[in-house]
Amino acid sequence: MANGVEDFYCDEVLSGKTKVEKFLETDQTLAFYHTRPFYDVHIVVIPKKHITSLVDININERSIFDDLFQVIQIVSKQVNDQYGACTVSINIGEYQSNKHLHWHVHYGNRIKYKNGTWC
């Protein structure tokens, strides 16, 4: 738990409890295939340090932010090169289901509706 809130990325992914298929990893960032993808190709990019949200990054974490964006750029380029397009998105506030800073890089058809049911 981070700040009293369940954090799947810290509690499960970064701890190793939930195994993920890694796409790219650096000392500060992990990009992996989403464990429950909503799109044909769905990659999540997270900092290894717990940061709650984009609005919570502070200036002392600049190197983390720089590394995150470098990884997002590499992942996006590879997906774009392979499929011809991709979407890069981030959620904030109530839209953010997991309170750990993360980006989605995805391509293709939506394979689940927002309520979790299959299309």
Q: Is 106 a catalytic residue?
A: no
Q: Which helix (H) or strand (E) holds 87?
A: strand 87-89
Contact indicator for 90, 104 with CB cutoff of 8 Å: yes
Out of 42, 100, 102, 106, the active site residue is 102
**Which positions ≥6 away from 18 have C-beta within 8 Å?**
8, 12, 35
The catalytic site residues sit at 102
